[in-house]
Amino acid sequence: ARARIIGPPDIYVKSGSLLTLTCLMSQGPHDLGTVAWFRGSQAVVTSPRSENDIEAEPRITVETEWSDALTSRLRITYLKPGDSGNYSCVPTVAERASVNVHVINGKSVRNAITDSRDKIIPIHTSIIYSGEIATIYTWSLFITVH
């Protein structure tokens, strides 16, 4: 069996934002494995709660669920450029899966990868909801073409 991380192989996120990586692995009813997360060759260490603020959320958390599939989520809040790197989920009962995370400090995604040979195609869509208050939802997606 092989694990997979949902999403593209390269993820570009702005500094200060939230990143959630989701690793999925199909498993049989007796394959109760666990998952370890790595950045490069180093194990990802989850953050303890702050002693000063018990209600503060930890910056790095891992949640794992067992059902028809083994699902593990790595959540990192307040991303910093130092959080960039190759992230892997390594299940005990399957092959690892990896993604490259690029934390961009003060640049747009488009400007951050102009040095590469990739072509960026922006796709935008909007939904306008008109009720008592008109609301416009806009999604932007950047597709990398190699």
Q: Does 113 score more than 90 pLDDT? A: no
- Could you tell me the pTM of the whole model? 0.68
Q: What percent of the chain has pLDDT over 90?
A: 45
Per-residue confidence (pLDDT) for residue 116, from 0 to 100: 45
DSSP state of 2: B
pLDDT in tens, 41-92: 999 998 776 566 556 778 999 998 887 778 999 999 999 999 999 999 998 8
Q: Where are the domains of the chain?
A: 3-104
Would you identify the CATH topology of the domain 3-104?
A: Immunoglobulin-like (2.60.40)
- For residues 126 and 101, the answer to whether their CB atoms sit within 8 Å is no
Compute φ and ψ for 109, nearest 5 degrees: -60, -40
- The band of 130, judged by pLDDT with boundaries at 50, 70 and 90, is very low
**What's the chain's average pLDDT?**
76
CA distance linking residue 137 with residue 96, whole number of Å: 36
Q: Does 4 score more than 60 pLDDT? A: yes
CA distance linking residue 144 with residue 10, whole number of Å: 9
Pairing of strands 85-91, 60-66: unpaired
